[in-house]
Amino acid sequence: MSKPIIRLVTCGSVDDGKSTLIGRLLVETDSVPHDTVAAARSVRRSGSTIVAGDIDFSLLTDGLEAEREQGITIDVAYRSMSLLNGRRLIIADAPGHEQYTRNMAVAASRADVALVLVDAARGIRTQTLRHLTICSLMGVSRVAVVVNKLDSVGYQESIYQAIVEELAIVAARLEITDYQAIPVSALVGDNVIVRSNSMPWYSGPTLLEYIQTWDKADAVMDSPHMGIQLISRAENFRGLSGTVLNGTFNLGDEIVVLPSKRKAKISEIITYDGKLESIGDGDAATLVLEPDIDASRGDSIQLANNFTNPADRFRANLVWLGDKELVHSRSYYLISSSTQVPAMVTSIRYKLNVNTGDHEASEILAMNEIGIVDIATDSPIALNTYKKERNTGSFILVDRVTLNTVAAGMVSHTLRRSENVSEQHYEVDSLARAAQKNQSSKVIWLTGLSGSGKSTIANELEKQLFAAGMHSYVLDGDNLRLGLNKDLGFTQADRAENVRRVGHVAQLMSDAGLIVIVALVSPFSADRDSVRELFEVGKFMEVWVKTPTQVCIDRDPKGLYKKAASGSIPNMTGIGQEYEEPTHAELILDGTEPVIENVKILLAAIL
């Protein structure tokens, strides 16, 4: 039986020598083509001090032209290497720069072993601590702290021991139990593959010895699951396709499709090799169910006698990767395996200080910061705890406007409230309430700069609807901030929460059968889009009151622009804070036109 592949990630701060170390490992295990090694003898980075004819080991992993020009690692470089004991090693050389922490986190999420480098002359730095913290959160089972560049400090044992003592405190705090400090010189080759004669005071393993003695712990493989990636259809055929993880499915097994909890039995297991009696961990297959119950991409298949209860509230460790800070109460896409649902961070419990391990109160997470957060999803999903199962306990958050990945998360546990709250359905529904009023309910969402004319248009529109015998109500941003939203300010997070609350109030009033008119600046597209998703198609109308900024400043009905100019309002939309113009509004009104003309356009769209 072949031994499992070892997946390794190298990390640490900038210029600690990661690329050089991996390059030497590759060369000395004969894992690099000879012509590539020859090129590394002749090609030089700008400003390189390596003697002509010697190998620049770092070039063997820095694959991007920008990396070679700048002398840094930007992207994760993957290399395959053959170990001396016949095992295969997949190396992920992660960048050390702080702005590329996201790349390192992705590489660590699949790693079995981590090499965290420390420059002996500089000691343990903030980025070193951040990478150690991420390795701990990501469940990396073995960590080698490589104290590099011992040749630059005369191979002094005292310097190495001081780093080891500091490391012991950090490892205990992060609960890293399987770790080893190894003194090396990647440039010279000391203790990388061959034991160094320059450090007789060190009796531990060489780096290669420590890597190749790692053995995968026997995982508990009793909870098989398959994320549905594709619905396979043909004439008189329908199957559910995906990859099986963490166990085995057998012909005749009773399964449950989550989150619906519909049950069926496996009547056929179809693979590239034909029909099988069972399918195991890591294998791709198409399962045919009896009966052919409803399921779709993103659902999960598990055994009926051992499945994860879907939930919509989770606590998680979150590594924030976005350029812009985390805004709780803003809707993001949560993606785990093939499952994608809208979700929001409802609260940041605390931020982790990577230097001390202290839990610090915080209302935001900035790029590369780590926090414990509570997350709510729009619909229940089957997520495990990360400690139990990496694949179904991890997720990413994606910005709904840019579609950029902004966070990596590891589930700590399900929150109890998700099991204690359930939706109640009543016989008198929205359609019945609207029919009683002889109208169709909907939400007219007026967005635009302060002074654009939203409230004036909303007021005239409601007057016209009232005169026509229609039942309507105006939700005005300022009025709501006098009561329901009195506790909110004007930061991005507070604006997101303001829009979220108004959106849900509008949803309730629409459910009551009313025509709801909302007059709210609502400057960010993601927040408006999250409100749109609360409503059925045709029930929500985004109306952009498009008025030039200078016209709004000249009107300045509340004196806000004057205050912003004096510096007393730093977050004034259109001045100190961006207004994201709607890209798919159902209606655009010219705020410079007479109010009655704009109301006529609205009435024509509503009635």
| Catalytically annotated residues | 522
Strand ordering across the sheet containing 587-590: 472-476, 515-519, 442-447, 540-546, 587-590
Extended strands (E) in 246-325: 249-250, 254-258, 262-271, 274-275, 278-279, 284-290, 300-303, 311-320
Distance CA 573, CA 477 (A): 14
Distance CA 374, CA 553 (A): 40
Distance CA 578, CA 199 (A): 59
3-state secondary structure 39-76: HHHHCCCCCCCCCCCCCCHHHHCCCCHHHHHHCCCCCC
First to last CA, the chain: 73
Residue 474 · residue 491 · CB < 8 Å: no
| Other beta carbons within 10 Å of 586 | 15
Distance CA 487, CA 481 (A): 8
Phi, psi dihedrals of residue 242, rounded to the nearest 5°: 180, -170
Phi, psi dihedrals of residue 307, rounded to the nearest 5°: -125, 160
| Other beta carbons within 10 Å of 277 | 8
Q: Record the tokens describing residue 544, joined without a space.
A: 């952009």
Residue 465 · residue 515 · CB < 8 Å: yes
Q: Which amino acid is at 477?
A: G
In terms of Cα–Cα distance, which of 30, 29, 10 is closest to 20?
10
Parallel, antiparallel or unpaired: strands 405-414 and 339-352: unpaired
3-state secondary structure 418-480: HHHCCCCCCCCCHHHHHHHCCCCCEEEEEECCCCCCHHHHHHHHHHHHHHCCCCEEEEEHHHH
Distance CA 108, CA 332 (A): 23
In terms of Cα–Cα distance, which of 73, 67, 70 is closest to 17?
73
- Supply angle C-alpha 50, 54, 55, rounded to 5: 95
Parallel, antiparallel or unpaired: strands 225-227 and 300-303: antiparallel
